[in-house]
Structure 1
Amino acid sequence: MAWDPSDYLTYADERGRPYGELLARVAVEPDRVRRVVDLGCGPGNLTALLGRRWPDATVVGVDSSPEMLERARRDHADVPGLSFARGDVRTWTASAPVDVLLSNATYQWVPGHLDLLPGLLAQVAPGGVLAFSVPGNVDEPSHVLRRELAATAPYAMFTAGVADPAAHDAAAYLGVLAGAGAQVDAWETTYLHVLRGEDPVLTWISSTGARPTLEALPADLRERFRSELGELLRAAYPTTVVGGEPAVVLPFRRVFVVARRVDGVVTEQ
């Protein structure tokens, strides 16, 4: 599946805010941060923040999408110590212990990712941090309507088995990582994104949660699907007035976890 960096960056500020708030809770002494890795770095606009926060560290963004990596390398070549590498977050392993290991809006695409967390924590240096966030909105109309429509004819024969994002609540992540021996700070936030323009919710999900479904459809059905889904989303997310201008309010729940490895022992569950 191909990802489109330009589409993804349409709402760069809204998508970037959770990353900034996650990063603000990562409290590691600057002089001990030497290796930083961002798993699922996408177009690299947020990974570049890591290079600026820890200018003396080696920062690596990892992603499986050639399109995303090309954009990342082109846009952020001026950030010292920052590089990008192709890799699969399901099987990624560090060549040496990492002081800060981050991931934003990535592991919802990995089935069974709870089982991967102790192994990720084990790759963090003692005193270092594993921090990630995932969307927690898979039960919202933006996902439910897409799944329901994709399961109907004539779409179902093409969309059966496509990737579908899924995540857990903060308590589940806390339980797994605390059980592995980490000090864990886990929380949830629901943002109210004020979106403007034509069919903004459809635009938002077309570059993320709905993209695997859209990519699975042949071109003629893809446009038909977009049209039908857009109509459903307009009913679910009606236009209102915010600040004197037409807008659509998109509630978006996010789940955050910051896990500090407190010693050299990690319990594999």
Structure 2
Amino acid sequence: MSTGAPAHDWSAAQYLKFEDERTQPARDLLARVTLQSPKTIVDLGCGPGNSTAVLESRYPDAQLKGIDSSPDMIRKAKATLSHREFAVEDLTSYSPPGPVDLFYSNAVFQWLKKDERFEIVKKLMATQPTGGVFALQVPDNLSEPSHVLMRETAENGPWAATLSTVGRDTFQTTQEIYDVLKPVSSRVDIFHTSYYHALESHEAVIEWVKGTGLRPYLDPLGPEEKEGFLQDYLKRLQGAYPVSVDGRVLLRYPRLFVVAVKK
């Protein structure tokens, strides 16, 4: 879920408001992992432990550890799966104590600097045995209205100067991913899925992105600016997302999946 130390801690409660929707990609990623009985698994950016629970349900006998840079996320994960090991770790400096059969990462690597992402993946894969798997999933939504309008709101208000450096790097293309992983992999599978989340309202869309993508925009603002930002952003969302026949709003959410098998 999170990687390096953030300016403000992530909120497990906010993230889990949409637990089922956020966990489905974790299930879909694991469905493409063909390992039968890995001995060691590390959940990179485990968040509140929802992805770790998915891993445990399939591999109950594995030595399973979750790491995340967010103390609040790790507290929640420990409370949910007290019999498993969790630790506050920064992914950019993390090094496993021994070989890991499966590295698994649900929605983490998009937060890293672009030039660091696959250097970290390759560094961790170098610790894996032949046949080990590195599986990751990231949102691919920077061109979706939810995120385009987030940036437009940031650029067109009294908070523009404060938020001028906020944003995340674009992710590598599928060709770039394949070319960087294939030299160290016997197989690289890449796939893409768009989820359509039927949320209660436009306000619910804001609640969704508050848990992840909107957070870097809101954290630097004071209470009044934050309220003004959210009001402006809501108006833009209302113009971009139609209301469905049942009153709900469909939030399209594309995600990119990568499963690499160590050579």
TM-score by length of 1: 0.90
The 3-state SS of whatever aligns with 2:10 is coil
TM-fit CA distance, 1:54? 1.6
2:57 paired residue number:
52
CA distance in 2, matches of 1:165, 1:6: 26
Letter in 2 for 1:28: L
1:228-254 alpha-carbon deviations (Å, 9 max, x no partner): 10111111112112xxx2111111111
Contact 1:165 1:209 in 2 (8 A): no
Contact residue 63 and residue 89 of structure 1 kept, 8 A: yes
Q: Aligned partners of 2:81, 2:142: CA distance in 1, in Å?
A: 32
Structure whose residues are more often strand by fraction: 1
Indicate yes or no: 2:262 matched with 1:258: no
Distance apart, 1:163 and its partner CA? 4.6
Normalised to the residue count of structure 2, the TM-score between the two structures is 0.92
Which of 125, 149, 170 is the matching residue for 1:166? Answer: 170
d(CA) in 2 for partners of 1:5, 1:96? 29
Q: Is the 8 A contact 1:170 1:257 kept in 2?
A: no
Once the two structures are TM-superposed, the CA of residue 29 in structure 1 deviates from its matched residue by: 2.2
Aligned counterpart, 2:3: none
Q: Which aligned runs of 4 or more in structure 1 are off by greater than 6 angstroms? A: none
Residue in 1 that maps onto 2:119: 115
Aligned length: 254
Give yes or no for the alignment of 1:25 onto 2:32.
yes
1:61 is matched with 66
The corresponding residue for 2:204 is: 200
Write the distance in 2 (CA, Å) between the matches of 1:97 and 1:165. 30
Q: Structure 1 residue 14 and structure 2 residue 21: aligned?
A: yes
2:243 corresponds to 1:239: yes
Aligned mates of 2:185, 2:215 — CA distance in 1? 37
User: Does the CA-based 8 Å contact 2:136-2:258 persist in structure 1?
Assistant: yes
Cα deviation 1:114-173 (Å, max 9, x = unaligned): 332221221222111000000111111111111121123411222232352532333322
CA RMSD, 1 decimal = 1.5
Residue 248 of structure 2 aligns to a residue in which SS?
A: strand
Q: Percent identity?
A: 38
Is 1:152 paired with 2:127? no
* Structure 1: gaps (5+ residues): 263-269
* Separation in 2, partners of 1:182, 1:217: 47
